[in-house]
Amino acid sequence: MRYLNELVIQLQNDKIPMIPCTMEELNEVKKLIGTNKLPEAYIEFLEVMGGGTEHTFLRGESCFIDELLELNEWGAELLEENNVPLKLTSNDFVFWMSQGCMFCFFKLDEGENPPVYFYSEGKKKEGFYKITDTFTEFLQRRYLRDKYVFQKKD
């Protein structure tokens, strides 16, 4: 494990059970993106905890395999409902959503640990904007309950 090592050790130390995706589930996600390739850091996430976690880490947030295959569609619907001129492309992968009113995505061509972009109906005038430089930084900051994680990164 190259990207999530530190976070996984933290979760293990805090005795937070992590449920991996099955190989079948991982293949379903890969099928969803067609000829594009998932970033390595995200594959690690799916392999280690893509089936869910216990306690509070990411609980109640849509990011695990039980809802994952719908997230791109839900993100596109949210943009449409909000009448914003933004569109998700086949290069954008929505991996996290909360309350049906905000989501995070990365671009499939921005490396093995890509930056994370954010959209919220509460900030729709700002459009999509970058909130972390890497996918692992996003996970780490969510784990630390960083309330500023969704702010625009310069």
| Number of independent structural domains in the chain | 1
Tell me the mean pLDDT in the region 93-99: 95
pLDDT tens, residue by residue, 35-46: 899 999 999 999
Q: Is 49 a domain residue?
A: yes
| Residue 152, in any domain of the structure | no
- The residue segments making up the domain with residue 58 are 5-143
Asked, for residue 130, whether it belongs to a domain, the answer is yes
pLDDT in tens, 57-87: 998 899 999 999 999 999 999 999 998 889 9
Residue 25 counted as domain residue: yes
- The full length of the chain comes to 154
pLDDT tens, position by position, 8-51: 999 999 999 999 999 999 999 999 898 899 999 999 999 999 99
The answer to whether residue 40 is domain-embedded is yes
In a domain, 46, yes or no: yes
Cβ 101 vs Cβ 77: under 8 Å:
no
CATH code, 80 = 3.40.1580.10
Closest CA to 139 of 50, 66, 71, 24: 50
Closest CA to 93 of 112, 127, 77, 69: 69
Q: Answer yes or no: is 76 within a domain.
A: yes
* DSSP class of 24: H
Specify the pTM. Answer: 0.94
pLDDT at 13: 95
